[in-house]
């Protein structure tokens, strides 16, 4: 049996001749990994192909596609990243016709690190590794079991550590509004730390992640204050599942609930805030 | 051909030494990505680090020294600027003594640059008035 890295490399080598580039992870200087666009012209760079740590590749894809909307690319994506790409497609952020998905199945330790319920891809035609079952999320379960006052006290304390770096928003593959409510003085006062009302920033973000968060945990990972914010996104996702029977990224054609109001007209990215 | 690169560097804003990737698309700086497996920052950045790419090509960025002439700042060469600074330091030192000068260095500089500045203060000017912005 070959390992995932070898199989992934072979898969990428097969795909490379048919695309302009394959977005995957590469080990850079000092052993630091980063997303990289592998090309057929420099296929020797695949010697530095990496699997872990997980990086926000859909976000990098978004940056490339904004400058090259018609580029024919492939992307190596884990379950969460695939869900992110599907949601970006549903919100008119990318064209799936030009995109080849290479699904990378997570292993047990990776799934446990992310407390992931769905560490596998479902849409990618090319896959690498064997899919495994989801793992429990003990942190979310613990917070869910708290009483209302306990929850309030817990989040108040967590949010007070926020240094308002905007990292959670910057790294999120689902944050693509041209004008961001978190930069609006009405909601989030600029130029003051600690924030006078830190819950406002986080609750605005939580509301905006409704039916969008794909549970990739990039926000938690980049947070310098270690705020476990994926927990409230997951609890909101549970509510959305119960109320609208909708799971972000799960199906290609089920319309996200927040777009249903626009059903009568064609939804297109207008360049204006929505 | 699409040219996308991540350039690993150290955040220039303070002395902590967080690592970040500058995202370069078609030779234009487009964004910042934190470096997850870096020992110092472990994938985190503050708001300044997240916006490092913004100042590099900003139109307000100074690209030459400026010398105030007749109340107005005018572009100058480094030679002109350094000569003027040396002359003024010399004048102040002669008139009021070396302790009338203070040197403020920066956490944005390297250790070596900070070493040189304290050396300059003590050996050239002759004062122990050396401090740096990280004390703020």
pLDDT score at A263: 53
In chain B, which residues have their Cβ closer than 8 Å to the Cβ of A218? Answer: none
Of A2-11, A237-246, A252-261, which range is least confident?
A: A252-261
In chain B, which residues have their Cβ closer than 8 Å to the Cβ of A183? Answer: none
* Chain B residues bordering chain A (beta-carbon distance below 8 Å): 1-2, 4, 6, 8, 19, 21, 23, 25-26, 30-38, 41, 43-47, 49-50
The domain ranges of chain B are: 4-56, 62-96, 98-136
Average pLDDT over residues A15-39: 96
Give yes or no for residue A274 having a pLDDT over 50.
Answer: no
Q: Of A129, A118, A128, nearest to A83 (Cα)? A: A118
**Are B43 and A222 inside 8 Å of each other by CB?**
yes
A148 and A256 fall within a common domain: yes
Q: How far is Cα A164 from Cα A170, in angstroms, rounded to an integer?
A: 11
Q: Which residues contact B25 (CB under 8 A, 6 or more apart)?
A: A63, A64, A67, B2, B3, B4, B5
A58 and A121 fall within a common domain: yes
Question: Is residue A13 included in any domain, yes or no?
Answer: yes
Q: Looking at the complex, report in whole angstroms how far the Cα of residue B44 sits from the nearest Cα belonging to chain A.
A: 5
Q: Identify the closest residue of chain A to B8 by CA–CA distance.
A: A29
Q: Identify the closest residue of chain A to B49 by CA–CA distance.
A: A165
pLDDT digits (tens, 9 = 90+) for A83-142: 999 999 999 899 999 999 999 999 999 999 999 999 999 999 999 999 999 999 999 999
Could you tell me the two tokens for B69?
Answer: 């002439």
- Count of domains for chain A: 2
Q: How far is Cα B97 from Cα A59, in angstroms, rounded to an integer?
A: 58
Q: Of A215, A273, A203, A274, nearest to A241 (Cα)? A: A215
Q: How far is Cα A140 from Cα A119, in angstroms, rounded to an integer?
A: 17
Give yes or no for residue B83 having a pLDDT over 80.
Answer: yes
Of A50-54, A209-213, A263-267, B50-54, which range is least confident?
A: A263-267
Last residue of a domain, one of A108, A128, A148: A128
Q: How far is Cα B42 from Cα B78, in angstroms, rounded to an integer?
A: 39
- The DSSP call for residue A105 is P
A85 and A156 fall within a common domain: no
Q: How far is Cα A23 from Cα A41, in angstroms, rounded to an integer?
A: 14
Interface confidence (ipTM) of the complex = 0.89
Residue labelled with tokens 């978190």: A182
Question: Is residue A133 included in any domain, yes or no?
Answer: no
Q: How far is Cα A81 from Cα B130, in angstroms, rounded to an integer?
A: 51
Range of the domain at A105: 4-128
A117 and A60 fall within a common domain: yes
Architecture of the domain made up of B4-56: Single Sheet (2.20)
pLDDT score at A235: 93
A163 and A124 fall within a common domain: no
Long-range contact pairs involving A155-161 (C-beta distance under 8 Å, separation at least 24): A155/A199, A155/A202, A155/A232, A156/A199, A158/A225, A158/A227, A158/A228, A159/A198, A159/A199, A159/A201, A159/A202, A159/A227, A160/A194, A160/A198, A161/A225, A161/A226, A161/A227
- In which band, very low, low, confident or very high, does the pLDDT at A270 lie, cut at 50, 70 and 90? very low
A146 and A107 fall within a common domain: no
**Are A28 and B6 inside 8 Å of each other by CB?**
yes
Last residue of a domain, one of A84, A106, A128: A128
């Amino acid at each position: 049996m070959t390992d995932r890295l070898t199989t992934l490399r072979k898969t990428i080598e097969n795909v490379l001749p048919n695309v302009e580039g394959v977005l995957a992870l590469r080990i850079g200087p000092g052993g630091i990994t980063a997303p990289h666009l592998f090309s057929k012209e420099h296929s020797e760079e695949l010697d530095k192909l990496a699997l872990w740590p997980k990086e926000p590749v859909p976000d990098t894809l978004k940056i490339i596609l904004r400058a090259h909307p018609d580029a024919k690319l492939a992307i190596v994506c884990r379950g969460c990243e695939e869900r992110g790409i599907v949601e970006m497609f549903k919100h008119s952020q990318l064209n799936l016709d030009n995109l080849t998905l290479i699904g990378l199945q997570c292993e047990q330790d990776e799934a446990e690190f992310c407390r992931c319920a769905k560490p596998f891809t479902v849409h990618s035609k090319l896959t690498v590794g064997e899919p495994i079952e989801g793992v429990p999320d003990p942190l979310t379960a613990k917070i869910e079991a708290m009483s209302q006052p306990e929850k309030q006290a817990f989040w108040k304390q967590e949010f007070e550590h926020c240094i308002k770096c905007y990292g959670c928003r910057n790294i999120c593959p689902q944050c693509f509004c041209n004008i961001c409510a978190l930069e609006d003085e009405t909601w989030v006062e600029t130029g003051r730390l600690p924030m006078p009302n830190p819950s406002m920033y986080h609750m605005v973000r939580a509301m905006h992640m409704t039916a969008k968060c794909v549970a990739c945990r990039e926000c938690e990972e980049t947070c310098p204050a270690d705020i476990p914010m994926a927990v409230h996104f997951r609890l909101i996702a549970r509510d959305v599942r119960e109320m609208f029977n909708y799971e972000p990224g799960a199906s290609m054609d089920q319309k996200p609930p927040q777009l249903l109001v626009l059903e009568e007209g064609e939804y297109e990215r207008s360049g204006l805030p929505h | 051909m699409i040219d996308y690169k991540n350039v690993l560097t150290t955040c220039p804003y303070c002395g902590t030494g967080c690592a970040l990737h500058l995202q370069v698309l078609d030779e234009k700086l487009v964004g910042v990505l934190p470096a997850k497996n870096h020992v110092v920052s472990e994938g985190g950045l503050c708001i300044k680090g997240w916006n490092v790419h913004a100042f590099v090509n900003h139109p307000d960025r100074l690209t030459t020294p400026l010398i105030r002439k007749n109340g107005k700042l005018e572009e100058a060469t480094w030679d002109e600027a350094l000569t003027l600074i040396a002359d003024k330091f010399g004048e102040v030192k002669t008139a009021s003594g070396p302790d009338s000068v203070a040197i403020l260095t920066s956490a944005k500089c390297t250790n070596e640059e900070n070493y040189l500045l304290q050396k300059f203060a003590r050996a050239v000017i002759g004062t122990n008035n050396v401090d740096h912005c990280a004390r703020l």
